[in-house]
């Protein structure tokens, strides 16, 4: 069974073992790794050139919906107050819509924070972090801070998380991270597989189910398992279908004792009221999710049709991103696309010829198609110099976060 582990030198490991608690207690000193940090590392110059097509960070080109923008404008003048009751009201709106108790929900400025804190709280040098390959990398960066072994398990042939292999690979697991739909593949892991993992996991471990992209897919949420008091935390964000990546709002949903354990690492901080107001308004808009899901599906499927017609291989996705096999070194393709002002997503080392593409608007995807065709038919020339000045490449960008390269 092909299972990859993050290499760690013995001396570094023992240092981490000694300092894990101290490191966890001072996490303010470590940056949380997010998607934009990874995304921009691959290609992006700052600032982006005019008219650039940005399909590199799994953002939503539609941005916040109209009522969310009105809510931001309406609340901005109250920004001098902490306004905690607004966060309480937002939680009540979400909890009531999902049929869950409000004490099972905590709001954060995005879901990157609770992802990071959950890994710190439930992994350690003795409790490993188990994730998919290729998968969203942020949790593995947090695991380095807790000193946990990182166990990467390849996806199945249908690109689901291989829950049996994950169990077999880590009898010492502290956290099983399941991202469904998965970033970067946009593929699903079934509810029954999540139930199987819950039923068979080591006693003190938890599942961290990341549903950042769930609204784009025909998928069953794991929230019913939270309601059933199982050992899992579900993450939701307003950064994707709700188009609020820059406004910052997300939830961790789990049994209060699990949230409390995680909360020991996050501390308590006020939410930005602009984000809270926009999120509450978005949740009350009954057309937002179905309409945006329809738009995304339509554009994605049209893109797939074009790719198939032109004999390009891709992983069929249910999300707002997909993996495209260029059958050439991904870095070369990313650079050649950027030279045409089309910024596509990064590569995962385990799939060195695949690039991740975010689904943009239809006009953006048409520009992507033209540029990609030119690159693949070698009528576009790759740049001779690096896209990013050397000093800036000391950082790694996930989609949304910048971390020092030394933490990669």
- CA distances 89 to 84, 96, 234, 317, Å, are 9, 10, 20, 35
Of 228-267, which residues contact ligand PLP (CB under 6 A)?
A: 237, 239, 245, 250
- Nearest approach in angstroms of CB 210 to ligand PLP is 5
Nearer to ligand PLP, 125 or 176 (CB): 176
**Residue 115 binding ligand PLP, by CB under 6 A:** yes
Q: For residue 210, state whether it binds ligand PLP (rule: CB under 6 A).
A: yes
Pick between residue 252 and residue 337 the one whose CB is nearest to ligand PLP: 252
Segment near ligand PLP (CB under 6 A), from 107-115, 152-160, 221-229, 269-277?
107-115
| 111 lies in the site for ligand PLP, by CB under 6 A | yes
DSSP 27: G
Count of all residues that appear for the chain in the document:
408
CA distances from 356 to 70, 96, 380 (A): 33, 36, 20
Nearest approach, Cβ of 245 to ligand PLP (angstroms)?
A: 5
Residues whose CB is less than 8 angstroms from the CB of residue 121 and which lie 6 or more positions away in sequence, other chains included:
261, 262, 264, 265
Q: CB nearest ligand PLP: which residue? A: 35
Q: Report the alpha-carbon angle 21-24-29, nearest 5.
A: 130
Coil, helix or strand for 107? strand
Preceding amide of 187 cis, omega within 30: no
**111 versus 318: smaller Cβ distance to ligand PLP:** 111
Site residues for ligand PLP, window 29-48 (CB under 6 A)? 34-35
- Region of 2-10, 105-113, 273-281, 302-310 interacting with ligand PLP (CB under 6 A): 105-113
- Give the H or E element holding residue 343: strand 342-344
Residue count at the site for ligand PLP (CB under 6 A)?
A: 18
Among 112, 296, 318, 320, binds ligand PLP (CB under 6 A): 112
Cα 401 to Cα 306: distance, rounded to the nearest angstrom: 32
Please compute, for residue 118, the number of CA atoms within 13 A of its CA located in the half-sphere on the CB side.
35
- Give the x-and-dash track for 174-193 against ligand PLP (CB under 6 A): -----x---x----------
- The sign of the dihedral angle between the CA atoms of 217, 182, 227, 165 is positive
Contacts 24+ apart (CB under 8 A), 288-294: 288/65, 288/241, 288/242, 289/215, 289/241, 292/60, 292/62, 292/215, 292/241, 292/243, 293/215, 293/216, 293/241
- Write the CB contacts of 267 (distance below 8 Å, at least 6 apart in sequence): none
x/- map, 120-159, ligand PLP, by CB under 6 A: ----------------x-----------------------
Point out which span in 85-93, 111-119, 308-316, 337-345 binds ligand PLP (CB under 6 A). 111-119
Closer residue to ligand PLP, CB minimum distance, 111 or 395 = 111
Minimum CB–partner distance for residue 248 and ligand PLP (Å): 7
Binding-site ranges for ligand PLP (CB under 6 A): 34-35, 58, 110-112, 115, 136, 179, 183, 210, 212, 237, 239, 245, 250, 399-400
């Amino acid at each position: 069974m092909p299972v990859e582990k993050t290499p760690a030198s013995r001396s570094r490991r023992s240092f981490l073992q000694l300092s894990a608690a101290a490191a966890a207690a001072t996490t303010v000193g470590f940056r949380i790794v997010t998607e934009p940090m990874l995304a921009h590392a691959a290609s992006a110059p700052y600032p982006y050139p005019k008219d650039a097509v940005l399909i590199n960070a799994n953002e939503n080109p539609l941005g916040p919906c109209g009522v969310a923008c009105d809510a931001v404008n309406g609340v901005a003048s109250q920004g001098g107050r902490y306004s905690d009751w607004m966060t309480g009201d937002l939680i009540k709106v979400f909890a009531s819509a999902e049929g869950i108790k409000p004490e099972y929900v905590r709001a954060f400025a995005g879901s990157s924070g609770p992802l990071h804190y959950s890994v710190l709280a439930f992994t350690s040098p003795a409790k490993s972090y188990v994730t998919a390959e290729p998968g969203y990398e942020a949790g593995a960066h947090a695991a380095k801070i807790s000193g946990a072994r990182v166990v990467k398990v390849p996806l199945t042939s249908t690109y689901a998380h291989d829950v049996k292999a994950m169990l077999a690979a880590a009898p010492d697991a502290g956290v099983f991270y399941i991202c469904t739909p998965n970033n970067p593949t946009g593929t699903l892991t079934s509810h029954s597989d999540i139930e199987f993992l819950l039923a068979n996991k080591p006693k003190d471990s938890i599942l961290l189910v990341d549903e950042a992209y769930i609204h784009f897919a025909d998928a069953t949420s794991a929230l019913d398992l939270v309601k059933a008091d199982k050992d899992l935390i579900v993450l939701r964000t307003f950064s994707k279908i709700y188009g609020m990546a820059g406004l910052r709002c997300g939830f961790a949903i789990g049994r209060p004792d699990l949230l409390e354990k995680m909360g020991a690492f996050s501390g308590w901080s006020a939410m930005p009221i602009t984000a809270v107001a926009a999120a509450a308004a978005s949740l009350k808009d009954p057309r937002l999710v179905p309409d945006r899901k329809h738009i995304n599906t339509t554009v994605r499927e049209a893109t797939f049709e074009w790719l198939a017609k032109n004999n390009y291989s891709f992983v069929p996705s249910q999300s707002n991103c997909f993996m495209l096999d260029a059958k050439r070194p991904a870095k070369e393709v990313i650079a050649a696309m950027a030279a045409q002002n089309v910024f596509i997503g990064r590569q995962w080392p385990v799939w060195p010829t695949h690039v991740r593409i975010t689904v943009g608007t239809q006009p953006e995807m048409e520009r992507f198609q033209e540029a990609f065709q030119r690159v693949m038919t070698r009528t576009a020339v790759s740049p001779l110099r690096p896209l990013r000045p050397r000093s800036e490449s000391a950082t790694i960008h996930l989609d949304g976060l910048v971390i020092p390269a030394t933490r990669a």
